[in-house]
Structure 1
Amino acid sequence: MGKVYYITKNVGLGLLVLAATALVTIIALSIAYNKEKAKNRGKPGHGASYSTSMPTTLTTPFIPKEPWDYYRLPSSLLPVSYNVTLWPQLEPNADGLFVFTGHSVVVFKCVKETDLIIIHSNKLNLTTIYGHHAKLSSLGRANVPTIQKSWFVVKTEYLVLQLHSRLTVGTSYALYTDFQGELADDLQGFYRSEYYEDGVKKVIATSQMQATYARKAFPCFDEPAMKAVFNVTIIHSTATVALSNSKEIVIFVDSVPVRVTTFGPTERMSTYLLAFIVCDFVKIESIKNNNLLVRIWARRKAISDNQGDYALNVTGPILQFFERYYNASYPLSKSDQIALPDFNSGAMENWGLVTYRETALLYDPIFSSIANKERVATVISHELAHMWFGNLVTLKWWNDLWLNEGFASYVEYLGADYAEPSWNIKDLIILYDVHKVFAVDALASSHPLSRLEEEVNDPAQISEMFNAISYNKGAAVLRMLSDFLTEAVFAKGLSWYNLTIRTINVLCLGGCTCITLLLSSVCCQAVEKTPGLHIPHTVHNIMNRWTLQMGYPVVTIDTRTGRVTQKHFLLDPDSVVDRPSQFNYEWFVPIKWMKSGKEQQPYWLLQKTGMFIKMKLSGGGWVLANTNVSGYFRVNYDPDNWDRLLSLLNSNHKALSVMNRAQIIDDAFNLARAKIINTTLALRTTKYLAKERDYIPWESALRNLDYYILMFDRTEVYGALQAFLKKQIQPLFEHFKSITVNWTKVPTGHTDQYNQINAIGIACNVGVESCRELIKSWYRKWMENPNRNPRIHPNLKSTVYCTAIAFGSVEEWDFAWRMFKNATLASEASRLRGAMACTKVPWLLNRYLEYTLDRTKIRKQDAISTIQYIARNVVGMPLAWNFVRARWDYIFQQYGKGSFSFTNLVNGITKRFSTELELQELKKFQEENRHVGFGSATLAMEQAIEKTTANIKWVKENKANVLNWFTEETA
C-alpha cells in the first residue's frame, strides 16, 4: 500500500467528490466496454471511422496530402497539462479479456490558427460524446468551436477533430475523452504482466511508453518535445498498490471496494516518460540526502530474499555522484525503482518511477554472479543519469536519440565506478561499447549518429534508432570528447548547458536538447574558460565530423617517414557507400600516442594526409597510437612497426596497457578483414596469449577468433583452429586452477573472475583434458541433489550449465527445464534459459523453438533472445532459420512493429551466414516478405545481406591461408 498523506478536511472532501465522480464515470465505461468490444470484434484497428486518404494497396506509394497523413504533429497546438484517470481490471471479463477504462482532460494552447485538433490515439475505443469522440471547452473568454466531425487515422495513429470554426491563437482549451483499452500482454503502452507466487497467479498492470506507446493508454500529443504536466489518478483494488511518477495520495472510498490513488503533479515532461503501475508488490526504502525517498519494489519473494538490497544500497552513491557531476540536485522528491516480471527492454528511465527487468535490478547475495551485480550497478547508473539528461533536458525529436542514450551509456561507467571503485569498470567500455559498435559502423549501410528529422518518422523507424549506433557509438564519441577536453571541462560544459535549458525556457520548445546549443555551450564556456586547454577548432566543428557523417577512420602511421593518413574504414572494401557526406568522410582526429613506452604530446590529424616528423623512427623503438583507445578510430602501421609491436607482445606484453593490448588485437583482425593487412599478421597477435592473464586482451582475442569459428565451424578448418585455441588456453586454465586451489576459491579481482569464466568455457569447448569431466561432475551432483548446488559458483553457472547440456543428453536438458520453471531468481532462470540452447540434439532444439511462441513456457520478453541463443549453436542455426522463415507473419506481428530488440533476431540468426546458398535464401526471404514487412529490423535485413556478401568473399579468399597457419602453429 502506498504511503498515506495527511490532508486538510476541505481538500479531502474535494478529492472524495472527484474520486466518486471518477468511479461513476469509469464504472459506466467498464460496462460499456464489453458491449463496444463485442460489437467491434473482428473489425480492424480502433473500431471507428478511418481517414479516406490512406493508400488503397500495399504497392501504391503513399503521398501525404492532409495534415493527418503526416507522422509528425502539426505545430499549431501545444499541450500544457493532462488529468488522466485510469482503472485497470486485473481479472478477465466475460469474454476473457483484461481491460482498462478511463478518461482524460488535456489542456492545450493554440499557437497557430487552425480548425483541426490532431492528437495521437492508438488501439483505444473512445466513447462517443454528443455524437463525437471528445468534448471541447475553453479556459478563456474565446468562443468554443463546435466539433463538426471526428475520425481515426490508423496509419498515423491519430484522432482527428474537424471544427466548425478556427481556434483562437493564445487561448487555452480543454479536450475531454472517455476511453477503453485492452490490458494486453504485448509489453507496450498500458499492458499486463503475469507471474506465479506460491502457486497463485498474479496479474500486474504496468506501462512502457517509450517511444510511441503513451497513445495506447490515453489520447495525447505523443512527441518528446510536447512536454506537459501530468496529474494521474488510478482506481484499483484494495489488495494492490498504485505507483506513478509522483508521490501518491491514497483516498479510501467506503461505498465501493476499491481504492483511489491520486498522484501529485509531475514536472513538465514528455509523454514517453509517464508511468503507472498497479500490483501487490512490496518495497524496501530509505531516506537519502535532502529528504529524498528511495524505494525498491519487487515481488514479495524477491524482497524477502533480500534481492533488492544491493539496488537500494547502490542507488544512494550513484545519485550522489550525478548530483555533483551535473552540479544540480536530484529534481524530484522520490525515486522509485521496480523490477517487473515482463518487460521488453532492460530498463526505462520514467521520471521518478524507473522500470526494470528483474535481471537488471535484483541481485541475490548468495546465488547471483559478479556479472549480475555489475549489470545491476551499471543499469541503475544508466537510468539515473537520465533523470537529468534525458528527462529534465530532453531530445527534441528521435533523430537525435544518440545524445540521450549515448550520453547515459557513457556516464553509466562513471556512476558505477564511483559506487564500485575496485572494479575499474571504466576500462570495460572498450569491450562493451567501442569494439562492439566498430563492427556495425564499418558497414556501408550504417548511419550517422544524428540523422535528418525526415529520415525518422513512423514508429518502426523510431524504434530502429534504438540501436548500437545511438547507444554504443554515442558513448564512444562522447568519451572521446571528454578525453580531449578532460573530464572536468566536459562535466562543466554539461552543467552550464543544463542550467541554460532550465532558465531560458524558450530554447528548443523548452527543455529539449539542441545539438548546436550543447556543443556551443561546451566550447564557448567550458573550453574558453579553461587555461591551457587548446584544441584546433571549436568543439562544434570537431564534433560535427563525428555526428553528422557515419563511420569512422582508420589512421595509418608510417614510422619510416612520419606520414599520417586517414581513410573511411569499411569492413568490406568493395562495398559502395551511397550516403553522401558534406565532410567527404574526413574527420578531425585527436591522436594520443607513445614512443617506446613514453607518452607524447597529442597530435591532431585535420585532413586526409599529414606529416608528423616526431612519429618517424630512425634508431629503433616503436610507436603506439590511440593510447587507452581514447579515440574512435582504428590504427594501422607500416610493416616494420607492426613487427616491433608483435615482438613486444611476445617479449614483454605488460609494457602496454591491457586496453592497448586488446586494441592491437582488435584492430589487426579487422584491418585484415578489410584487406588492409594480411590475415596471418592478425593471427600473429594471438601467439602471445599463452602468457596473457588479463581479461580485456583475452576477451578481445576470443571475440575476434569467434568470427573464425562462425565462418569455419562447418569446415575442415575448425579442427586446426580448436587445436590452436587449446594450446593457448591451457596455461590460462592451469593458472586459474592454481590460484583458486583447484576451483574451490574465487579470484579476487573483478575482471579476473570474468577471465576464469573464459578459461573454463573455452577449455571445455576445445577439449582440454579434465575440463569436461570436471563440469559434468558438478552438474551431475546437482542433478542428484537439486535442492543444493554447492560446487557450482554463481560466476560459473552459465558455463557449467551450457557445457553439461552440450555434452549431455535429454536427461540433462529436462533437468535444466525443471529447474528453469521452478527458479525464483530471474538471473538463475536467465542462465538456464540460455544454457538449454547449447544442446546438440536437433529434436530438443526444435522443441525449444516451439516453446518460444508459447507464453506459458517462455515469457514474451524472452522469446527473441531465446531464438538467438539457439541460432548461436552450430546445430541450432539452420533450425532457427527455418523456424523464423516459416513463422515470419506471426513473429513480425508480435515483435516487429515496435520492439527495440527485434533487430537482434535478424542479426543473431544470420551471424554465421557465409555461403552463396545462405545469401540467396536471405534475399529470397526478404523479397517474399516485403508485403509483411520487417519493421524495426528493416535496416538489420540490409546489413545482414551486406555482411553475408562480405563473409562469402572473405572465406573464399582466406580459408586456405587460415588453415595453413593454424596447422603450422599446432604442428
Structure 2
Amino acid sequence: MKGENEEKMKMSCRRELNLTPRSLLFIVFAVSLALLCAILLTYFFTKNTFETSRIRVKRDVDPGLEKDLVDVIDKEPSVPAEKLRLPKDLQPESYDLNMKVYLPGYGAEIAAEKNLTFEATLVTRISVLLPAPRIVLNIKKLNITDVFVTMNNAPINVVSTKVDDELEMVTIQLGKVLEIGSNVVLTLIYTGPIDNSLGGLYQSRYKHTDGVEKIIATTQMEPTDARRMVPCFDEPAFKANWTVTIVHPKGTSALANSLEETIINLDDQWIESKFKSTPKMSSYLLAAIISEFEYNEGQTKSGTRFRVWSRPEAKDETKYALEAGIKCIEHYEEFYGIPFPLEKQDMVALPDFAAGAMENWGLITYRENSLLYDASLYKPEQKQRVAVVVAHELAHQWFGNLVTMKWWSDLWLNEGFAAFVEYLGTDFISDGKFRMNETFLMDGQESAFREDALPTSHPLSFKIDRASEVEEAFDGITYEKGSSVISMIRNTLGASVFDSAIKSYLKKFSYDNAEASDLFEALNDFVTPKTIGPDGKRLNVKNLAKQWTEQMGYPVLTMKRENDRMVRIDQSRFKLSNALDQEKYSKPEFGFQWDVPVWYSRGGDDENQIHFAWLPRDSNLILGAPKNVVPILNYESRGFYRVNYDGELWNDIITQLVQNPMVYSTKSRTRLISDAFAAAEAGMIDYRVPFNLTNYLQKETEFLPWDMGIDSIKKIANYYGSEPEIKYLRIFLRNLLKTQYEKSSIEHVSATYLNDDRFFENQLESRVIAFTCAARDPECLEKFVSHFKKEFIEKCQDSQVMASKCSKVSVPLRSAIYCEGVSAGDRAVWSQVFDAYQRESNQVEKTSLLYALSCSRDVDILKELLSHALNWPLNVVRLQDVDSVFQYVSSNPTGREFIFEYLLDKWDDIYASLKTDPATIRRVLKYCASPIRNQRQIKQLETFQRSLKTDIGKHSFDESIAIGKQKVAWIAKNYDSLTNFFKEQTVNL
C-alpha cells in the first residue's frame, strides 16, 4: 500500500507542474511567502525550545492592562492528574544545595539588581529505575542559567532545557539515554526572587520598637512550593537526603532542617553556614530561615537541642512554647516508641505566615500568635492554642515526616493523625488542666460534622484530579474528620492495641512512604480474637475503615421504641439538605451505609456503665429498654455519628435532664444538645425539642454544654441575619444566660484568668458575658463601652505607645470590648484604634484591634478597611490577615448588608490583589458569599461563577451556593414558626 500511494503522489505532482507563466508567477510568490513564514516559525519555535521556553503568557504586564487581561492571563489550567505527576523512571537520592541570599538591611553591600534575590547551585544525585532520555523536575519562577549532567562520572550532552509554567516542570532533554542502575549527577545553577508571596523562599517584614524595619527570608513549601526555591522532584514519595549551605549577610543567622556543621566568616560582609545532611525526607519539608532572630534554648532528656526563635523584642514570649515543646517531644518519644531522629529541634515565630504552622522536619515555623505567649495579653484559650499547635506540629515529626503519605490523596493520614494526637500531647503539656478529651468534641467532631453534612464534602481518601484540589484537600474533612475517625477506630480497638499497632507501623515505614491501606493492615495485625466485628467474626479493620474513609458523609442513628421492653435503631446518612452530591462521590461502594460501633448507656441505675454493640450497615439493632428508660447512644461521643430519638424518647431525655442533668456525663450532655439542634436543622424534628432541652442549662455548671448550647443558638442567629425579628431570639438568649450572667463580672474574669485550674470556669464566665452583650443586653453593653473608654481611649491617647503596653482592657474579654467600643463610637474612635493597629507589633493585640476595626456601623469605614486589605503590599494589613478582614466584616450586621455586592462589584480588584494566593481568594469568596439568604442572590452567584474564566475558588463557589440553597430552604421551613416560638417565650419577660 505504501508504494502505490507514493506513486500516485508523484503523478499528481507531475500534472501540477504543467503550468502557465501567470500560474508560475503566482507559485513563486506563494513559495516565497511560505519560505518567509517557515523562517519566522523556525525562529520562534527555536527561541521557545532553546534554554528555557515559557509556555504561559508572561505575567509582568502593564498595570493599566492588568484588569482587562486578568481572566486571560491567569486562568488556572484544568490539568489532568497524570500530567501533573513526574515520571517514575528516576529517583533522587540526595540534594546538595548551596545558596547565597541577598537580604538587605544587614552587614553586606548588595547591588540593586540582586536585592531580595538568591543565587544557587544544586547538585542532585539520581538513581535510574527505567531507561530515561530526559530528566523532569518541578520548577516555578526560577531562572536556570547552566545545566550539567554526568552518568557514572562521564559527561552527557544536554540537548535542551524547557520550562513549562503551566505544569510547573522543567524537562532536560539529554543526548544519551540514562541507563538502569547508573549513577546520575545533575548540576543546576540558577537564580530566584525573594518575593512577598508567602510561598517558597519569601520575605517577611517587621519593625523594631524604634521604627526601623527589618526583612527576613523564610520558607513555606507545603504542598507544592519547594519548586519555588529548588528545582526538584517535588512530590511526597520522592524522599531524599538534603545537605544545605547558606551564604548570608553578617548580622544574620541561618537555620535549616538539620544541625549546623560549620559557620565560617567568609569576609567582613558574608557568613557561610553549612548544615548536616538530613534523613531521607520529602521536599515539602525543606526549610530555611535567614534573620536576626534570637532564641531561648533547652534540651530534652534524650539530648535533643531545643530552641524557640522570634523577633528580638518577643524573645521572652517564647518561654512557654519552649517548656511545652520539650515536655511534648519527650512524651511523643514514649508514645511512638521511637526516639526523635534529629539532633536539634527549632521552632520559629514568623511575622508573616500563610498557615497556622508548618511541621518542617527539625525547623517548625509558626504564625506569631500560634507560638508566642504573653500572660498579660493572651487569654486562656490562646495559651491553650499555643500548646495545641505545638503538640500538632511535633506529632508530625513522626507521623508525616518519618512516615509520609505517598500522594496528597491520603493527606488525612498526615493531618488527621496529627490532629488526633495533638489532644494527647496538649493534655500532657497542661497536666490535664485543659481537659482535651472534652475539647475534642467541640473543636474536632463538631466542625467535621458541619462540613461533612454538605453536598460539597469529599471522602477522606480521594483522587486528586486537578492542581487546585491539592490545596483544597487542606480542609476540615482532612483534619477534623480524619482525627474523629482515627479516634473512633482507637476506641473500637482499645487504646493499648491501637497504640501498639501505630508503633509497629512507624517502625516498618520509617523514612519511607505509606498509603491508608498500609495503616489499616498494621492495625489489623494487632486485632485480638476477642475483638468481634459486626459480622460476629474477628474484626477486619481494613473493611471497617474503608467505609469511613472512602465515602463522604456520616450516619445518623435513629432510635424508636418498639414496645415497652425494647428500642430499635436504624441508620441513614445525615444531610442538612437534599441537594445533589458531587457526581464523582455520589455512588460509593458502600452506598452511604456504615458498620457503626455503638457505645451506649442503658439508663436508670446503670447510667455510668458504658456498653457496646454493632449496628451493621445492612441491618438494624435492637436493645432492651424498659419503659421510661432511654439508652443514650454514642455515649461520651466516642463515635463519628449523630443520634436522633423519636418524640417520646426525646421527652424522656428532657425530663431526666431537667430533674438531674448530672446523671449523664458532661460529654454526653453536650452531645445531646448538639444532636438535637442538628436534627432540627435537618428537618428531622421540631425546633421545640432542642429549645426545650436547653431549659436544663439553668442547672448546668460545666463549660462544654453551655458552649454547645450558645454555639447552636448562634447558628440560628446566622439564619436570621439582620432581619428585625432577630430581636426575639436575642431576648430568648439573654433570658437563657441571665442566671449565669448575674454570677459573672468583668472584674472577676480579669482577676482569675491566669489560673489554669480555673481554665473552664473562666471560659464559661467570659463566654456568658460576651454573648449577653452580643444579644444586645443594655446593661452589658453599657459596661463594655464604659470599660473601653476608660481603659483604652483614655489610657492610649499617646500616639507613640503601643496598645499592648497602654491598654488595660480586660484580657479575657478584650476583643469583644474593643468591638463594642468601636461599634458605639464615631470616626474619631475608629481612627484612634486604626492608628493603634498600625503601630502595634504584638500579633495577638494586633488581631484584636483589627477585629475591632471591622465592628464599625459605618459602611464607608468598612469599605475603607476592605480597601486596606486588598492593598496589602502597602503593609497596612499583612497578606496573611486579608481573609480575616473579610471574615470579620461579613460577620458584622452592617457588613452583611453589602459584602456580597462588594464581591460582585470588586471581583477584578480582589482577583488582581490575591491571584498569587488562591487559598486566600477561596476564603475571601466564601466569607463574601456567607450572607446569601434568598434565591435572587443564589442566582447572582451562579451567574457570576459562570462568567469567570478561572477555576480558582470553584470549590468555594460550589460550597457557598450549596450553603445558600440550604439556608433558603431552612428559612422557608423554620423562620416563621421559630419567630413565633421566640415571641411566645419572651411575652412574659
The alignment's TM-score, normalised by the length of structure 1, stands at 0.89
Pairing partner for 2:669 from 661, 668, 687: 661
Q: Which of the numbers 472, 495, 501 marks the counterpart of 1:464? A: 472
Q: Which residue of 2 aligns with 1:201?
A: 213
Shift of 1:899: 5.0
Candidates 156, 167, 184, aligned match of 1:156? 167
Q: Separation in 2 of the partners of 1:893 and 1:160?
A: 30
Instruction: Give runs of aligned pairs for residues 72-83 of structure 1, distance below 5 A.
Output: 72-83=85-96
Please tell me whether the aligned partners of residues 52 and 161 of structure 2 are also in contact (alpha carbons under 8 angstroms): no
- Return the match for 2:102 from 89, 95, 104: 89
For residue 524 of structure 2, what is the aligned residue in structure 1?
Answer: 523
1:781 aligns with 2:790: yes
Q: Distance in 2 between matches of 1:207 and 1:701?
A: 41
How many residues align structurally?
901
> How far apart are residue 485 of structure 1 and its match?
1.4
Mark the runs of 5 or more structure 2 residues left unpaired by the alignment: 1-46, 59-70, 105-109
Within 2, Cα distance between the matches of 1:121 and 1:683? 56
Partner of 2:323: 313
**1:882 partner letter:** E
AA at the equivalent of 1:104: L
2:983 corresponds in structure 1 to 967
Equivalent residue in structure 2 for 1:648, among 635, 641, 656: 656
Separation in structure 2 between the aligned mates of residue 57 and residue 858 of structure 1, nearest angstrom: 28
Q: In the alignment, is the contact (CA less than 8 A) between 1:717 and 1:959 conserved in 2? A: no
Q: Does 1:105 align with 2:118?
A: no
Q: Does structure 1 retain, via aligned residues, the 8 Å contact 2:49–2:161? A: no
Alignment of 1:398 with 2:399, yes or no, is: no
Of the structure 1 ranges 225-234 and 826-835, higher mean CA displacement relative to structure 2 is found in 826-835
1:858-897 matched pairs, under 5 angstroms? 858-892=877-911, 895=914
Cα deviation, residue 642, structure 1: 0.6
Q: Kindly report which structure 2 residues correspond to 1:29-428, keeping only aligned pairs within 5 A, or say none.
A: 48-50=52-54, 70-91=83-104, 94=112, 98-127=116-145, 129=146, 134-139=147-152, 144-197=155-208, 198-255=210-267, 257-303=269-315, 306-420=316-430, 421-428=432-439
Q: Is the 8 A contact 1:760 1:799 kept in 2?
A: no
| Contact persistence 2:415–2:478 (CA under 8 A) | yes
1: CA distance, partners of 2:137 / 2:740: 61
- The 1:118/1:680 distance shift into structure 2, 3 A limit, reads same
Query: CA distance change for structure 1 residues 896 and 375 in 2, over 3 Å: closer, same or farther?
Result: farther
Q: Distance in 2 between matches of 1:749 and 1:743?
A: 12
Where do 1:416-815 residues align within 5 Å?
416-420=426-430, 421-452=432-463, 455-458=464-467, 460-502=468-510, 511-525=512-526, 527=528, 537-561=539-563, 562-576=567-581, 578=583, 579-596=586-603, 597-614=607-624, 617-737=625-745, 744-746=751-753, 748-782=757-791, 783-786=793-796, 792-815=809-832
- Kept in 2: contact 1:450–1:548 (CA 8 A): yes
2:841, 2:732 → 1: CA distance?
41
The answer for the alignment partner of 1:31 in structure 2 is: none
Q: What amino acid sits opposite 1:512 in the alignment?
A: N
Q: State which drifts further: 767-776 or 180-189.
A: 767-776
Cα deviation 1:368-416 (Å, max 9, x = unaligned): 2111111110000000000001000001000100110010001101000
Does the CA-based 8 Å contact 2:532-2:538 persist in structure 1? Answer: no
| Cα distance, 1:647 vs structure 2 | 1.7
Query: How far 1:525 sits from its partner (Å)?
Result: 2.4
How far apart are the structure 1 equivalents of 2:702 and 2:806? 29
Please report how far the alpha carbon of residue 687 of structure 1 lies from its aligned counterpart in structure 2 after TM superposition.
2.6
For residue 467 of structure 1, report the CA deviation from its aligned partner.
0.5
Alpha-carbon shift at residue 526 of structure 1 (Å) = 5.0
Which residue is 1:912 aligned to? 931
Asked if the contact 1:563–1:609 (Cα under 8 Å) also holds between the matched residues in 2, the reply is no
- Going from structure 1 to structure 2, the CA distance change for 1:96 and 1:869 (only over 3 Å counts) comes to farther
Equivalent residues of 1:566, 1:608 under 8 A apart: no
CA shift for structure 1 position 686: 2.5
- Cα 1:611–1:808 shift into 2, 3 Å: same
Q: 2:530, 2:538 within 8 Å by CA — same for their partners in 1?
A: no
Q: Indicate the percent of aligned positions where both proteins have the same amino acid.
A: 29
Q: CA deviation at 1:365?
A: 2.4
Give per-residue Cα distances to partners, 1:341-361, cap 9 Å, x unaligned.
000000000000000000000
Instruction: From the superposition, tell whether residues 339 and 956 of structure 1 become closer, same or farther in structure 2 (CA, over 3 Å).
Output: same
Q: Counterparts of 1:544 and 1:352 in 2: how far apart (Å)?
A: 33
Please, which moves more after superposition, 419-428 or 259-268? Answer: 419-428
For residues 938 and 45 of structure 1, the distance between their equivalents in structure 2, rounded to whole angstroms, comes to: 34
Would the aligned equivalents of 2:126 and 2:185 in 1 still touch at CA under 8 Å?
yes
Q: Is the 8 A contact 1:46 1:124 kept in 2?
A: no
**Contact 2:49-2:162 at 8 Å conserved across structures:** no
Distance 2:289 2:528 in 1: 44
Distance verdict in 2 for CA 1:543–1:895, change over 3 Å: farther
Q: Bigger shift: 159-168 or 882-891?
A: 882-891
Amino acid at match of 1:90: L
Any idea what the Cα deviations from partners look like across 1:267-307, whole Å, max 9, x if unmatched? Answer: 1000000000100011110122122100010000001xx10
Assess if the C-alpha contact under 8 Å between 2:558 and 2:644 holds in 1: yes
Counterpart AA for 1:775: F
8 Å CA contact 2:51–2:161 kept in 1: the answer is no
Q: Which moved more, 1:414-423 or 1:903-912?
A: 903-912
Unmatched 5+ stretches in structure 1: 1-42, 503-509
CA distance in 2, matches of 1:483, 1:46: 60
CA distance in 1, matches of 2:499, 2:194: 43
- Partner amino acid for 1:409? A
> CA distance change for structure 1 residues 182 and 727 in 2, over 3 Å: closer, same or farther?
same
Q: How far off its partner does 1:84 sit?
A: 0.7
The worse-fitting range, judged by mean Cα deviation, of 897-906 and 759-768 is 897-906
Residue aligned with 2:640, SS = coil
By how many angstroms is 1:77 displaced?
0.4
Cα deviation for residue 718 of structure 1 reads 0.5
2-structure distance, mates of 1:276, 1:869: 33
Contact 2:77 2:951 in 1 (8 A): no
Change (3 A) 1:928 1:167: same
Contact kept? 1:523, 1:540, Cα under 8 Å? yes
Contact 1:622 1:644 in 2 (8 A): yes
Structure 2 Cα separation of the partners of residues 96 and 854 of structure 1: 26
Deviation at 1:237, TM superposition (A): 0.8
Tell me the residue number matched to 1:817. 834
Distance 2:418 2:614 in 1: 27
How far off its partner does 1:95 sit?
A: 5.7
The 1:93–1:666 alpha-carbon spacing in structure 2 relative to 1, beyond 3 Å, is farther
Cα displacement (A) at 1:654: 2.1
